[in-house]
C-alpha cells in the first residue's frame, strides 16, 4: 500500500477523504477525536506545499443539502485545531467548490460540504457513483485515503475516486491497519470482545464471525435486548428490531456449539425514557417492566463484565453499554472502560461513539493500547472482511 510519503505533493491539488463524522451538541462539535486523528495527514500535506481539499460526510442526510448536516461546525473546529480558519465550500463539486479549489495556494486547505448532500456519494448504482466520483476527481490531481471509519462503505469518495487518481493511504489509515492487524492473526488469549451501542443492525452480523474467534463475547447496550428476548425475557419498551430475536437465538446456539461464551447482562437500569432526570431503577434482566426501557447495564452486570475483562490477553470493545451521555446511565460504560485500563491485555477501543464515550467519561486515549476511529470499519476489518476503501488502494 502506497503512503503519502510516496506521493510528490508539492504544489499539487490533493483530495483527502477524512472521516469527520463527529457528534454535535447544539451546533458545536461535542467530541473532536476524529478531527484530531486527521491532523497528522493534513498538516504533513500542507507543510509539504500541497493544495489540500478535505472531503468528508456527517450523519446520514438523504442525498440532498440539509443544513442540519452541514460540515460548518466541523470546519470551525478543524480551523481551531490547525490554528487558522478553514474555508468551507457551499457545495461538494459545484461552483463554490470549484472556485475555492481554484483559489487554493500551496500549503492552503479548503473543505467541501457534506459529501452525502449528493446522492451519487452513497448510490449502489456504479454509474451514478462513478459520475459523482468523476466530478470529485476533476477537482484534484492526487487522492489520499485517510477516512478509516468510512472505508467499509463502497461510496464514491471512498472507493471510486481512488480508482481515478494517483492515490495513497494517509497516516491515520496506516496506523489503523497496523493496530487492527493484531486482532486478525495470532491473538493473545483469552480474547474478549465487548459489544454494545445503538447501531445494532449495522453490527449484528459480526457476531457470527466473532463467535469463531473470541473466547468470550460480552453484550451490553441495545445489542443485549435481542438476546434477552431470545431467552424468553420481556424487554419492555427497550430498543428492539423484529427479526433480530431469532438471529440472536441462532447465535446463542452457535456459541454453545463453538464453546464461546456469550455473556449477557444479569441486571439492567430502566426508566420510562432516556431523560436527564428520568426516575430509574435497577431490575433483573428477566424482570424489565412493561412500560420501561433498559438504558444501561446494571451494577451486577458491570462487575461481571469487568471481572471477565481483567484477566484477558486481548480485548476489543465496540459500543457503549448504555446512554452514557446521561450520567445516571453511564455506569456500565465507565466500568468497562476502567476494566480495560487496569487490564494487562492488548486493548482496542473501536468506534466514533465509543471513543467519544471514553473521553467524555474521563479516560484519555493514551490509557488504551489503541483507540480506533472506525466503528463498523474496525469491526469488519477484524472479521477479515475486505474494506472497499482499502481494496481500492491496493488496486491502484
Ligand atoms: C461511522 O460513524 O461509523 C462512520 O463515519 C461511517 O458512518 P455511516 O455508518 O453513516 O456510514
329: domain CATH number?
3.40.50.1260
How far apart (Å, rounded) are the C-alpha atoms in residues 216 and 305? 10
Which pLDDT score is estimated for 351? 86
Residue 396 has pLDDT above 70, yes or no: no
Contact (CB, 8 A) for 336 and 324:
no
Altogether, the residues listed in the chain come to a count of 396
Domain-located, residue 392: no
The answer, yes or no, to whether any atom of ligand 1 lies below 6 A from the CB of 196, is: no
C-alpha cell at 144: 489520499
| Of the residues 177, 207, 231, the one at which a domain ends | 177
Residue 181 has pLDDT above 70, yes or no: yes
Q: Which domain holds residue 240?
A: 182-382
Predicted confidence (pLDDT) per residue in 12-58, tens digit: 999 999 999 999 999 999 999 999 999 999 999 999 999 999 999 99
385, 62, 33, 268 alpha-carbon torsion, rounded to 10°: -80
Do 205 and 324 share a structural domain?
Answer: yes
How far apart (Å, rounded) are the C-alpha atoms in residues 231 and 210? 20
Predicted confidence (pLDDT) per residue in 195-245, tens digit: 999 888 888 999 999 999 999 999 999 999 999 999 999 999 999 988 999
The answer, yes or no, to whether any atom of ligand 1 lies below 6 A from the CB of 21, is: yes
Domain-located, residue 396: no
Q: Cα 49 to chain center, whole Å?
A: 30
Question: Distance from the CA of 149 to the center of ligand 1, in angstroms?
Answer: 6
Do 165 and 264 share a structural domain?
Answer: no
For the CA of 19, the nearest atom of ligand 1: 5
Domain-located, residue 157: yes
Residue 185 has pLDDT above 90, yes or no: no
Into how many domains does the chain fold?
Answer: 2
| Of the residues 155, 177, 199, the one at which a domain ends | 177
Domain-located, residue 389: no
The answer, yes or no, to whether any atom of ligand 1 lies below 6 A from the CB of 60, is: yes
Give residue for cell 452480523.
205
Question: Distance from the CA of 104 to the center of ligand 1, in angstroms?
Answer: 29
Domain-located, residue 106: yes
Predicted confidence (pLDDT) per residue in 60-116, tens digit: 999 999 999 999 999 999 999 999 999 999 999 999 999 999 999 999 999 999 999
Do 374 and 229 share a structural domain?
Answer: yes
Catalytic residue, from 12, 17, 34, 203: name it: 34
242 Cβ neighbours under 8 A, 6+ residues apart = none
Residue 117 has pLDDT above 70, yes or no: yes
| Of the residues 123, 145, 177, the one at which a domain ends | 177
Predicted confidence (pLDDT) per residue in 281-307, tens digit: 999 999 999 999 999 999 999 999 999
Of the candidates 126, 89, 141, 139, the one whose C-alpha atom is nearest the C-alpha of residue 110 is 89
Domain-located, residue 360: yes
Do 368 and 276 share a structural domain?
Answer: yes
Amino acid at each position: 500500500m502506497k503512503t503519502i510519503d510516496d506521493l510528490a505533493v508539492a504544489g499539487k491539488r490533493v483530495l483527502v477523504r477524512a472521516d469527520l463524522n463527529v457528534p454535535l451538541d447544539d451546533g458545536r462539535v461535542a467530541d473532536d477525536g476524529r478531527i484530531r486523528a486527521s491532523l497528522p495527514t493534513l498538516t504533513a500535506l500542507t507543510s509539504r506545499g500541497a493544495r489540500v481539499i478535505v472531503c468528508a460526510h456527517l450523519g446520514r442526510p438523504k442525498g440532498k443539502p440539509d443544513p442540519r448536516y452541514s460540515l460548518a461546525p466541523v470546519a470551525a473546529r478543524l480551523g481551531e485545531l490547525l490554528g487558522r480558519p478553514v474555508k468551507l465550500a457551499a457545495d461538494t463539486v459545484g461552483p463554490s467548490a470549484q472556485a475555492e479549489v481554484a483559489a487554493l495556494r500551496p500549503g492552503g486547505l479548503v473543505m467541501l460540504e457534506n459529501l452525502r448532500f449528493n446522492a451519487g456519494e452513497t448510490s449502489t448504482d456504479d454509474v451514478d457513483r462513478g459520475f459523482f466520483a468523476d466530478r470529485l476527481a476533476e477537482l484534484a490531481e492526487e487522492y489520499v485515503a485517510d477516512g478509516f471509519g468510512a472505508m467499509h462503505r463502497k461510496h464514491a469518495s471512498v472507493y471510486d475516486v481512488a480508482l481515478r487518481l494517483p492515490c495513497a493511504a494517509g497516516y491515520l489509515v496506516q496506523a489503523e491497519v497496523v493496530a487492527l492487524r493484531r486482532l486478525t492473526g495470532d491473538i493473545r488469549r483469552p480474547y474478549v470482545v465487548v459489544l454494545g451501542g445503538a447501531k445494532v443492525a449495522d453490527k449484528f452480523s459480526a457476531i457470527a464471525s466473532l463467535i469463531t474467534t473470541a473466547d468470550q463475547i460480552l453484550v451490553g447496550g441495545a445489542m443485549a435486548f435481542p438476546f434477552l428476548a431470545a431467552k424468553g425475557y420481556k424487554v419492555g419498551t427497550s430498543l428492539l428490531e423484529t427479526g433480530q430475536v431469532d438471529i440472536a437465538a441462532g447465535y446463542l446456539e452457535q456459541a454453545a456449539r463453538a464453546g464461546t461464551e456469550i455473556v449477557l447482562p444479569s441486571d439492567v437500569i430502566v426508566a420510562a425514557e432516556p431523560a436527564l432526570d428520568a426516575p430509574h431503577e435497577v431490575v433483573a434482566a428477566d424482570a424489565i417492566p412493561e412500560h420501561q426501557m433498559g438504558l444501561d447495564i446494571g451494577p451486577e452486570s458491570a462487575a461481571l463484565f469487568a471481572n471477565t475483562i481483567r484477566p484477558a490477553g486481548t480485548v476489543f470493545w465496540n459500543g457503549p453499554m448504555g446512554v452514557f451521555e446521561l450520567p445516571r446511565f453511564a455506569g456500565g460504560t465507565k466500568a468497562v472502560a476502567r476494566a480495560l485500563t487496569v487490564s494487562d491485555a492488548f486493548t482496542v477501543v473501536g468506534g466514533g461513539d465509543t471513543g467519544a464515550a471514553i473521553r467524555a467519561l474521563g479516560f484519555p486515549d493514551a490509557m488504551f493500547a489503541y483507540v480506533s476511529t472506525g466503528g463498523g470499519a474496525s469491526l469488519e476489518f477484524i472479521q477479515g472482511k475486505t474494506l472497499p476503501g482499502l481494496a481500492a488502494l491496493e488496486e491502484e
